[in-house]
Amino acid sequence: MFTLALTGIAIVSARLALLGESVARNQLDLQVARQAAEAALRDAEKDLMIKDGTLEFPGAVCQRNLPTQLERPAMDQIAQFTKECLRGQCVVDSEERKGVDYTQGATASDRAEAWWPEDRGGRWGDPEEGKPAAGAAETCATFTGGVPLGIFTGARPIEGVALQPEYLIELIRRGGSQYFRITARGFGYRAGTEVVLQSYFQVPGA
C-alpha cells in the first residue's frame, strides 16, 4: 500500500510539472506573438510617415510611391485606399459601417470590418500566398490584404515565429476629421497563437 501511495504521488507530481511547463510555454508563445504584433504596429507608423518617392529604406522589397500614385504623406494618398485593402490600405463607406452588426459579425464581405477574421469577411488575405517577399517583388502593386513586416520599410524579419506579423491601415472619417486605424496581428512559435492589436494614428501636420 505504501508503495502504491508513493507511485500515485509521483504520478500526480509529474503531471503537475508537465502542466506547469505547458502553461509557461503557452504564455511565452503568447508574449512572442504580442511583441510581433507591436513590431507590426510600429512598422505601419513608419510606413505612414514615408515622405516622398526618393526615400528608400534599405532592404525594402516594395516602394510605397508607385509612378501612378501621389506621394506621401498618407493624407495625399487617400484616393488609393480601397475596400479590397489594396497594398494594405483600406477604407469602408461610413453608411455601410453603420449597418455592421458588431455582436454577430457579418456574412456579407462588403459590410465587414477589414480587420475581422476572414471567415467573417475580413481582408487579411492568405499570408502564405500572393504577398510580396524577398525575391517576389512582382506582387508589390497588386497584392491585397495585410502588409507583411518590412515590405515597405525594410524592417528585418522576426526570427522564430511561425508567420511574419502583418498590418492593415484603415482610413477613418468621423466628425469631419480623417485619421488612420492600424490593426496588426502577430504570430508565436505556432501559427495558432495569434495576437491582434490596434492603434489610432494621425500624420503630424495633416
Helices (H) and strands (E) in the chain, counts: 2, 5
Smallest Cα–Cα separation from 60: which of 72, 77, 46? 46
Q: How many CA atoms lie within 13 A of 76 on its CB side?
A: 14
- Rounded CA separation 86/81 (Å): 7
* Whether the predicted model's global pTM rises above the 0.85 cut: no
Q: What is the pLDDT of residue 182?
A: 95
pLDDT tens for each residue of the chain, 206 residues long: 767 666 767 666 666 656 565 656 778 898 999 999 999 999 999 888 766 544 567 778 888 765 555 555 566 677 788 888 998 999 877 666 666 666 665 555 556 788 888 887 888 987 666 788 766 677 888 889 999 999 888 888 899 899 899 999 998 887 777 889 999 999 999 888 999 999 998 876 55
- Which among 39, 51, 59, 70 is positioned nearest to 206, based on CA atoms? 51
- The phi, psi pair for 118, rounded to 5°, reads -65, -30
Domain residue limits, the chain: 2-201
Check if the beta carbon of residue 37 is closer than 8 Å to that of residue 196. Answer: yes
